[in-house]
């Protein structure tokens, strides 16, 4: 038989309203009362209906995750990170994929937030980088946290230092003896693309290597871009000896194209990706990359959002720098 809030109230010796206040994390409940109610909740293994609570309460108990990203692994990692925090703090997660290029995306987003009765939203690139979106959320008083490419310590932002990580990857390739290094970009709507390309160019400058724009291929965040980019780069009279791709899916496509041409990896061509997604571990050879802790980034974003919603002291905003993972696609001694 399903346990109800009435059962919890009876066992704890309090009113149903008191149980509701404890479950809804309202302020002003005495510690002794809170302890009794939570003991009863645990003893009965009571599972409140979060969706019903969100509709019945004047307080919102759901947060939104809005994304426009073609990388399925990134989206899944973000969902898992957000869900882990929501479950701990008694919130639902509502997910909305969208296209940031739509003319009315800001109006659509505001309407969705209001209809869904959300406590706030987590925005990922490129939506998090749109100033018209942020201005609209501010005007409506909607709580939000932005995940952004760059570095900083803003209260409602989580930064990923793509540029530094891309510089580290390029430095690794240069240290392996490569001087002609190709770059296959992702979509230019994403600031991460621009940051990773800048990191690549900064490393070349530091080593006094020329920036050859014929070695830069404008692509998108997908496998086919890696195939096309590698084919274009490898057909040059003086092809690169290494390719840095803007993410692992692009790098996997570049590796596929190179192997079809019977290019030896890494002896004739080194390849590196970015993010450390399953693509980097499912290829042969496995891909050198930069580990981006997407689940931890999402967890921190959710913690910041809920702390701001509850007017509590928020965790210190963090800036994450993806860490170099060297594998055999760039170094034959690695695994």
Query: pLDDT at position 47, please?
Result: 66
Question: What is the rounded CA–CA span in Å between residue 216 and residue 241?
Answer: 13
Distance of CA 110 to the CA centre of its chain: 22
At 314 the pLDDT is 62
112-118, long-range: CB within 8 Å, 24+ apart, which pairs? 112/64, 113/64, 113/140, 113/142, 116/62, 116/64, 117/54, 117/55, 117/60, 117/62, 118/60, 118/62, 118/63, 118/64, 118/94, 118/142
Strands 181-184 and 144-149: unpaired
CATH number of the structural domain 62-160+293-321 = 3.40.50.2300
The predicted pLDDT at position 49 comes to: 58
Pairing between β-strand 92-97 and β-strand 242-245 as defined by DSSP bridges: unpaired
- The answer to whether 5-48 and 62-160+293-321 have equal CATH topology is no
DSSP 312: P
Check: CB of residue 226 under 8 Å from CB of residue 256. Answer: yes
> CATH code for 5-48?
1.10.260.40
pLDDT of residue 26: 63
Nearest to 144 by CA among 64, 204, 50: 64
Q: Where are the beta strands (DSSP E) in the chain?
A: 62-67, 92-97, 120-123, 144-149, 157-160, 181-184, 216-217, 242-245, 270-272, 289-291, 319-320, 323-325
pTM higher than 0.75 for the full model? Answer: yes
Tokens encoding 328 = 């055999």
pLDDT averaged over consecutive 10-residue blocks of the chain (335 residues)?
Answer: 76 78 68 81 70 50 87 92 91 88 88 87 93 94 93 87 98 97 94 97 98 97 97 97 97 98 97 96 96 96 86 73 97 68
Q: Which of 94, 100, 149, 101 is nearest to 122 (CA)?
A: 94
Q: How far apart are the first and last CA of the chain?
A: 54
What does residue 178 show for φ and ψ, rounded to 5 degrees?
A: -85, 135
- So what's the pLDDT on residue 225? 97
Which tokens hold the place of 321?
A: 């720098």
Domain map of the chain by residue range? Answer: 5-48, 62-160+293-321, 162-291
Q: Write down the architecture of domain 162-291 according to CATH.
A: 3-Layer(aba) Sandwich (3.40)
Question: CA-CA distance, 101 to 94, in Å (whole number)?
Answer: 21
């Amino acid at each position: 038989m399903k346990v109800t809030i009435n059962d919890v109230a009876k066992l704890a010796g309090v009113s149903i309203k008191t149980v509701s206040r404890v479950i809804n994390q309202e302020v002003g409940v005495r510690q002794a009362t809170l302890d009794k109610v939570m003991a009863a909740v645990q003893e009965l293994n009571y599972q409140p209906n979060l969706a019903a609570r969100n509709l019945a309460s004047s307080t919102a108990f759901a947060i939104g995750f809005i994304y426009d990203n073609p990388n399925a692994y990134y989206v899944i990692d973000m969902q898992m990170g957000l869900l882990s925090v929501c479950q701990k703090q008694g919130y639902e997660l509502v997910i909305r994929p969208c296209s940031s290029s739509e003319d009315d995306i800001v109006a659509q987003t505001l309407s969705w937030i209001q209809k869904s009765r959300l406590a706030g939203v987590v925005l990922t690139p490129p939506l998090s980088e749109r100033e018209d979106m942020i201005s609209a959320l501010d005007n409506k008083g909607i709580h939000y946290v932005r995940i952004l490419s760059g570095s900083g310590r803003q209260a409602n932002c989580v930064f990923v230092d793509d540029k530094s990580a891309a510089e580290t990857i390029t430095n690794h390739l240069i240290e392996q003896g490569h001087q002609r290094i190709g770059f296959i970009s992702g979509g230019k709507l994403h600031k991460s693309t621009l940051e990773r390309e800048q990191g690549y160019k900064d490393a070349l400058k530091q080593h006094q290597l020329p920036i050859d724009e014929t070695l830069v291929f404008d692509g998108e965040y997908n496998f086919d871009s890696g195939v096309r980019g590698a084919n274009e780069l490898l057909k040059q009279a003086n092809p690169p000896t290494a390719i840095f791709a803007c993410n692992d899916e692009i790098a996997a496509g570049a590796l596929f194209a190179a192997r079809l041409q019977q290019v030896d990896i890494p002896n004739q061509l080194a390849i590196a990706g970015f993010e450390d997604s399953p693509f980097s571990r499912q290829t042969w050879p496995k891909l050198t990359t930069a580990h981006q802790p997407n689940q931890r980034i999402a967890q921190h974003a959710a913690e910041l959002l809920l702390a701001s919603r509850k007017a509590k002291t928020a965790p210190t905003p963090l800036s994450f720098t993806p860490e170099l993972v060297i594998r055999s696609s760039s170094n034959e001694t690695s695994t």
